[in-house]
Chain A
């Protein structure tokens, strides 16, 4: 499928002050493309969650936005530390967020479940010591 738009956003580990900027830009761009409001909301929730996960848990990574005529795709790729138990990480309420993140109101253990709930397709691959890749797509038509 021909890609209409692709943009890569670097996300820094621990950068709480600027967290959400990539998601805000993604939302703005999709709005300009005239993406349906329901899809826009789903992408916004998932992109914010995955961006925050990069800030809170990763050693840095990138968030990539791709748009083609049928779907919006978000790819999060980080350089570690990797998730030892993905099933556990996917459990609502389970979180390994540190004290700083919790003080800011993160670490409810809702991030990954929120992404899965909002995406049409959700895939997570992780290897300890290597990194985590999350791929989510959002269908543009019913």
Chain B
């Protein structure tokens, strides 16, 4: 699944129009504890979080994620969006809940993140 396909499946709004939408998503994930995400995140991940501050972009960038999705109509901070554009991280916004977004992604066959043994 590409980021473009993710946008079509979820009906999410693209807040970073200039990033590459042909990038392939490896897996889906949702969590709001950044340290937890640092421990379990994956490259190419589509990450759903209600956090909107700059550290979200730092984590996504360090983990080489494909996209960050902000659910439930929550607004991403402007400074975070600027940082996302600099780092080439796609940020999407949706009115759906994290649960609904996960269900839509899973229905299209996108796996969860592989757990380390």
**Judging by beta carbons under 8 Å apart, are B35 and A108 in contact?**
yes
- Chain B residues touching A, range: 20 to 34
Question: Of A16-24, A71-79, A130-138, which binds chain B?
Answer: A16-24
Q: A19-B58, A24-B58, A110-B39 are in contact. Are A44 and B32 (CB under 8 A)?
A: no
In the complex formed, the residue of A with least CB distance to B87 is A24
**Judging by beta carbons under 8 Å apart, are A20 and B39 in contact?**
no
**A90 CB–B CB distance under 8 Å:** no
**Judging by beta carbons under 8 Å apart, are A48 and B53 in contact?**
no
**Judging by beta carbons under 8 Å apart, are A20 and B35 in contact?**
no
CB distance from A22 to the nearest CB of B (A): 10
Bound-state Cα–Cα, A19 to B34, Å:
12
**Judging by beta carbons under 8 Å apart, are A110 and B58 in contact?**
no
List residues of A (104-140) whose CB comes within 8 Å of B's CBs: 104-111, 114, 117
Residue from the list A16, A52, A108, A114 in contact with B53, Cβ < 8 A = A16
In the complex formed, the residue of A with least CB distance to B34 is A105
CB distance from A122 to the nearest CB of B (A): 15
**Judging by beta carbons under 8 Å apart, are B53 and A20 in contact?**
no
Bound-state Cα–Cα, A26 to B35, Å:
19
Residue from the list A16, A17, A104, A110 in contact with B38, Cβ < 8 A = A110
Number of A interface residues in the complex (CB < 8 A): 25
Residue from the list B43, B49, B51, B59 in contact with A20, Cβ < 8 A = B59
**Judging by beta carbons under 8 Å apart, are B39 and A48 in contact?**
no
CB distance from B80 to the nearest CB of A (A): 10
**Judging by beta carbons under 8 Å apart, are A41 and B59 in contact?**
no
**Judging by beta carbons under 8 Å apart, are A105 and B33 in contact?**
yes
Q: List 19 A-B contacts (CB under 8 A).
A: A19-B58, A23-B58, A41-B43, A44-B62, A45-B39, A45-B63, A48-B59, A52-B55, A104-B34, A104-B55, A105-B32, A105-B51, A106-B33, A106-B55, A107-B35, A108-B33, A109-B35, A110-B39, A117-B39
A residues bordering B, Cβ < 8 Å?
Answer: 16-21, 23-24, 27, 41, 44-45, 48-49, 52, 104-111, 114, 117
